[in-house]
Amino acid sequence: MDLDILLQILVSGLLMGLIFALIAVGLTLIWGVMDILNFAHGEFLMLAMFFSFWMFSLWAIDPLWSLPVTVALLFAIGVGTYYFIIKKVLNAPGLTALLATFGLSILIKNLAQFFWTPDFRQVQGAILGDKTLSIFNLNVSLPELIAACGSALITYVVYYLIFRTKTGRAIRAAALDRDTALLMGINIDRIYALTFGLGGACVGVAGALLMNFYYVFPSVGGLFTILAFVTVALGGFGNITGAFYAGILIGVVETAGGVFISPVFKYTIVFAMYLVIISIRPKGLFGW
C-alpha cells in the first residue's frame, strides 16, 4: 500500500516535471544564448493556452489538432519579440532587457484580461478528455500522460537541434562568443531570432498540451515563470540537459511535498529545496 502511494507520487511528479522541463528548456535556451531574462515567458505560455482554448471553443478544433498552429503562432511571437523589442535592448547596459521583458509581460497579461476577462476557462470534451488509465494500482490521467510524453519528445527534438545539426552548432557558437561567431560568418541576428522563436515554440507545445487538463486565466503565467526560472537555475543556466532533469526533480518534489506536508506549501518546499541545493552547488546541479 505504502509502496503504491510512493510510486503514484513518483509517476505523477514525473509527468508534471516533464512539462515543467519543456517550459524551462525554452527559457534556458534564450538565457544561455542571449543572456536575457525573459520575464514574459509565462505570458507566452498563457497565450499558447488561450489560442488552444479559443480554437476549441470557437471552431471546435481539438487542442491536439490545433497544436501545430499554436506552435507556429508562438514561434512567430517569439521572433517578433526579438525583432521589435529584444534587438533594441541587446546592447544596453545591465538590466534594460529585464525592464523591457517585464513591461511586455505586464502588457500581455493585462491585454488578455481586457479582451478575455479574468475568468478561469477549461476545455471540455476534448479527445483526451478526463480519461484515466489504470495500470496495476497506478492511476494515470491520459491527458497528463500524453502531455508528459509530448514534452519529453519535444525536449529531445530541441536537444537534437542544438547538439546535432549545423544550425544548432551556430546557435552554440553564438552563445559561446558572439563576436567570434560573427567573424566566422554566422548571421547572429538570424540566430538570435531563431532562438527566441524556439523558446516561444517550446511554450507553444507546453501550453497546447497543458490545455487538455489545466485551466487558463490571464495571470496563469506568473507561477510558471517563477518555476521556470528556478528550474533553469537549478539545472545550470543555458544547460538544456540540466533543465530537463531539474524539471523532473521539481515535479517530483512538488507532488511529494503536496502529499506529505501540505498542498499549501508545495511550492515553498520547491523553493527551499532550490536554496539548499544552490548553496551546495552554486552553479546548479549540472553547472561547472
Contact residues for other proteins, defined by CB under 8 A: 31, 37, 84-85, 88-89, 91-100, 102-111, 113-114, 222, 226, 229-230, 232-233, 237, 264-265, 267-268, 271-272, 274-275, 278-279, 282-284
Q: How far is the CB of 99 from other proteins (least distance, A)?
A: 4
Q: Which CA distances in Å does 56 have to 65, 70, 177, 268?
A: 10, 12, 44, 35
Cα–Cα distance for residue pair 191/172, rounded to 1 Å:
10
CA distance 149 to 212: 13
CB of residue 288 to other proteins, shortest distance in Å: 13
Choose between 167 and 219: whose C-beta lies nearer to other proteins: 219
Q: How far apart are CB 108 and other proteins at their closest, in Å? A: 8
Distance between CA 222 and CA 98 in Å, rounded? Answer: 15
State in angstroms the smallest separation of the CB of 194 from other proteins.
Answer: 21
Beta carbon of residue 46, minimum distance to other proteins (angstroms, whole number): 14
CA–chain centroid gap for 43, Å, is 11
Q: What are phi and psi of 14, to 5 degrees?
A: -60, -45
The number of C-alpha atoms within 13 Å of 47 and in the hemisphere containing its C-beta is 27
Residue 97 CA to residue 42 CA, distance in Å, equals 16
Instruction: For the CB of residue 176, give the shortest distance to other proteins in the complex, in Å.
Output: 17
- Nearer Cβ to other proteins, position 110 or 122? 110
**Torsion angle in degrees (nearest 10) through CA of 51, 108, 209, 158:** 120
For the chain, first and last CA: distance in Å? 41
Which C-beta is closer to other proteins: that of 14 or that of 98? 98
**Minimum distance, C-beta of residue 104 to other proteins, in the bound complex (Å):** 6
Residue 85: CB minimum distance to other proteins, A: 6
Which residue, 38 or 141, has its beta carbon nearer to other proteins? Answer: 38
User: Residue 9 or 98: which CB sits closer to other proteins?
Assistant: 98
Using CA atoms, how far apart are residues 184 and 30, in angstroms rounded to an integer? Answer: 21
Phi and psi angles of residue 134, each rounded to the nearest 5 degrees, phi first: -120, 115
CA-nearest of 257, 256, 255, 236 to 246 is 236
Cβ proximity to other proteins: between 183 and 275 the closer is: 275
Our CB check for other proteins shows the closer of 22 and 24 to be 24
Q: How far apart are alpha carbons 270 and 275 in whole angstroms?
A: 9
Question: Which of residues 207 and 235 has its CB atom nearest to other proteins in the complex?
Answer: 235
Residue with cell 520547491: 270
